[in-house]
Amino acid sequence: MLETYLQYLRRVRHLADRTVTAYSRDLDLYRQYLEASGLRPEQVGPAEARGFVGFLSRRGLSSRSINRVLSALRGYQRFARSHGGAAASPFQGIRCLKVPAHLPSFLLEEEVERLLPAAQVPGTFWELRDRLILELLYATGCRVSELAGMNLTDLDLRECTIRVRGKGGKERVVFFGGAAAEVLREYLVRRRALTFTRGVEGALLLNRRGERISVRGIQGIVGKALQASGLAKPASPHTFRHSFATHLLARGRDVRLVQELLGHVSLSTTQVYTHLDIERLAEEYRLAHPHARRQK
């Protein structure tokens, strides 16, 4: 049944391979708990379900990770029930653990301006590609997997848009401005002149073998640019996504518009950036306003 469920996640829900692997790993923890406790699945009731949460905690999992495992298990049990499995899940009554508030890190506008020129002045095609990666990450707010998955046929240079495929295979359109467009046009001209033994595939961004660049390859390029910039703040491809959202909201864009651009299903996922911007404004106020100093 488990393998059937994983195939369902891949082929019906169109989840990424690494997401399916994570589901499989989470469900394996439940198998380990059953074996360690000498239980069969049909013997698990509310008390045993709470014992599973304790088992996960003793394994050192954070509250966020435990909630993810429980979510994976509930999803599997719903699937099993719809295919003739157990009538009810003992985990339905288990509440998610409280997760400490965590605000995503982001770059200030001036830090982005410092990081982008840190990429080498495009001389070779590969230096041009690296600059394009940084420009597109910031201009579109895409996830790194979405950027790696972009194809030439997804581009609309006239409208300055790109069609991307997000989580669960959902498509949306993202936009880019003049800075990214200028680098992109030069990149496409020089890309057409390339020849590879295996031939150039339809991917927008290539590695040095002429194949689609990987997520890890993009992460390495961002890391190299960060090191060259001298910025002490850590940054990753996802930091550009956080920065994209924060800067749009700071300039007065509607949160629902930002939600659409990011491809978030839930508005609450996007609203974290409004809290982040409020914290930044509060810090600026404390630093700048003459009556903001706290009494000693």
Q: Are residues 78 and 115 in the same domain?
A: no
What is the bridge-based pairing of β-strands 161-165 and 155-156?
antiparallel
CATH of the domain at 165: 1.10.443.10
Q: Are residues 113 and 217 in the same domain?
A: yes
Is 95 among the domain residues? Answer: no
Q: Are residues 72 and 167 in the same domain?
A: no
Catalytic residue at 296?
A: no
In this prediction, residue 261 carries a pLDDT of 83
Domain that holds residue 14: 2-82
Give the neighbor-by-neighbor strand order of the sheet with 161-165. Answer: 155-156, 161-165, 171-175
Catalytic residue at 289?
A: no
In this prediction, residue 296 carries a pLDDT of 44
Is 272 among the domain residues? Answer: yes
Is 88 among the domain residues? Answer: no
Q: Are residues 215 and 177 in the same domain?
A: yes
Q: Average model confidence (pLDDT) for the chain? A: 82
Q: Are residues 115 and 169 in the same domain?
A: yes
Q: Which of 30, 76, 187, 273 is catalytic?
A: 273
CATH of the domain at 37: 1.10.150.130
Q: Are residues 120 and 58 in the same domain?
A: no
| Claim: this prediction has a pTM higher than 0.85 | no
Choice among 122-126, 225-229, 235-239 with the minimum mean pLDDT: 122-126
- 269-281 tens-digit pLDDT: 666 666 655 555 5
User: What single letter denotes the amino acid at residue 238?
Assistant: H
Q: Are residues 68 and 167 in the same domain?
A: no
Is 132 among the domain residues? Answer: yes
Q: Which of 167, 172, 190, 191 is catalytic?
A: 167
- Give the number of domains in the chain: 2
Q: Which of 131, 242, 247, 264 is catalytic?
A: 264
Helix (H, G, I), strand (E, B) or coil at 13: coil
Q: How far apart are CA 21 and CA 117, in angstroms?
A: 37
Is 234 among the domain residues? Answer: yes
Catalytic residue at 13?
A: no
- Tell me which residue of 71, 74, 99 sits closest to 85, measured CA to CA: 74
In this prediction, residue 251 carries a pLDDT of 79
Is 87 among the domain residues? Answer: no
Catalytic residue at 167?
A: yes
Catalytic residue at 78?
A: no
Q: Are residues 60 and 157 in the same domain?
A: no
Catalytic residue at 241?
A: yes
